[in-house]
Structure 1
Amino acid sequence: MARAKEFDPEVALERAMELFWRQGYEATSIADLVAHLGIAKASLYATFGGKHDLYLAALDRYIRHPDPDPVEVLSSPGPVLPAIQTLLDIYAAPSPFDRPAGCMVVAAAVECPPEDQAVQSRLELSWGSSEVLLTSALLRARAQGEIRADAEPASLARFLLVLIQGIRVVGASSAGAGRARDAARHALDALR
């Protein structure tokens, strides 16, 4: 008869996500994971597979549960540009004390070799979803007269995506916090 799990896999996955987010994939060892998750090495392998499998599951969790949720921020009725500004300001704000700085997707993009198709596909999914969401919001902004009638929402969405990712990189450092806030503050000027 199989023994029941003595830990909650969802809690362990959340903790693994935080550790990978804070340290990166390469710098996180199996020993680090075992210690941080508080589970036996055999349990880790039995539940999640190897380190790479656990990393992919953690990255999936990060992508599925964004904080803030851009859909929630950008889907509210009314003017779009203030909602975009709110989202940018949230991304430019310092990370809460209990959260790692920066963005796990950005860290994965920087660290991941191009041949790791499993990670690359997750990056594309994350960025593609963000582009679709931003394009939709900008189409609404154009229809409401908030941006120029000849504006290209898809191109502007890519601009915002790259800006957001840059804000997350620069804002991860205390030396870059002011730069990230300034970039967020002036972003809408490029849209009008």
Structure 2
Amino acid sequence: MARTREFDTDAAVGRAMELFWTRGYEATSVRDLTQHLGIGQGSLYAAFGGKDGLYRAALEHYRTTLAAAALRDLEEQADARSAVRALLAERLRIAVGRDGRGCLAVNAACERLPQDASLRRVVRDMQDATRDALAEVLHAAIERGGISPRHDPHTLAAYLVTFLNGLLVSAKITPDVRAHEPLVEVALAALD
């Protein structure tokens, strides 16, 4: 008979996400994880298949919580410019938090690619979701006359995601929101 799991896997994934986000994948050992989560190594392997499985679960948790909340907020804004500004500002605020730990997805891409092809798909899916949500907001704004139709909304959305990725890396180097706010305004000029 299989043993009943003696810990809350959802809570463990959330705590692991924080640890990976702060330290990165390579600098986080299985021992660090078991100590941080208060579980045994056997339990970690039984529940997640190992460090890699827990890392992927942590990325999925990030996608379904913080990244999903950002997309919901994007869709709830009244106008495209405010929506894009709010998205960039909020992601920047999160990235500079805790001494500039950045964005977990961008950190994963910088640390684990190009070697990890399956991780590339996970990060690409997150970025595609952001791009598609932005494209919808921009398309609607173009149709309403709220922003210039000079750029294709999908291309403009891809540009904004690319800008956001660079902004999040830069926030790790200079974890100061005020230093990056003027850059957000330059990116918003693409909507003119």
Both structures adopt the same fold (TM-score exceeding 0.5): yes
Aligned partner of 2:11 in structure 1 is: 11
Residues 138, 153 of structure 2: 8 Å contact kept: yes
Report the 3-state secondary structure (helix = DSSP H, G, I; strand = E; otherwise coil) of the residue aligned with 2:12.
helix
What are the Cα deviations for residues 128-175 of structure 1, in whole angstroms up to 9, with x where unaligned? 111111111110111111222232111110111011112222223445
- Work out the CA distance in 2 between the residues paired with 1:73 and 1:95: 17
Q: CA RMSD in A?
A: 2.2
Q: How far apart are residue 60 of structure 1 and its match?
A: 1.2
Structure 1 length-normalised TM:
0.90
Corresponding residue pairs, total: 192
Aligned partner of 1:75 in structure 2 is: 75
Structure 2 length-normalised TM:
0.90
> Structure 1's 97 and 135: CA in aligned 2 closer, same or farther, altered over 3 A?
closer
Percent identity between the two aligned chains: 35
Aligned partner of 1:30 in structure 2 is: 30
Residues 170, 176 of structure 1: 8 Å contact kept: no
Q: How far apart are residue 72 of structure 1 and its match?
A: 1.8
Report the 3-state secondary structure (helix = DSSP H, G, I; strand = E; otherwise coil) of the residue aligned with 2:149.
coil
Residues 80, 138 of structure 2: 8 Å contact kept: yes
Matches within 5 A, 1:1-192: 1-66=1-66, 69-76=69-76, 78-93=78-93, 101-174=101-174, 176-192=176-192
> Structure 1's 58 and 187: CA in aligned 2 closer, same or farther, altered over 3 A?
same
Report the 3-state secondary structure (helix = DSSP H, G, I; strand = E; otherwise coil) of the residue aligned with 2:66.
coil
Gaps of 5+ in 1: none
- Work out the CA distance in 2 between the residues paired with 1:10 and 1:99: 26
- Work out the CA distance in 1 between the residues paired with 2:167 and 2:145: 27
> Structure 1's 100 and 172: CA in aligned 2 closer, same or farther, altered over 3 A?
closer
Q: How far apart are residue 57 of structure 1 and its match?
A: 1.2
Gaps of 5+ in 2: none
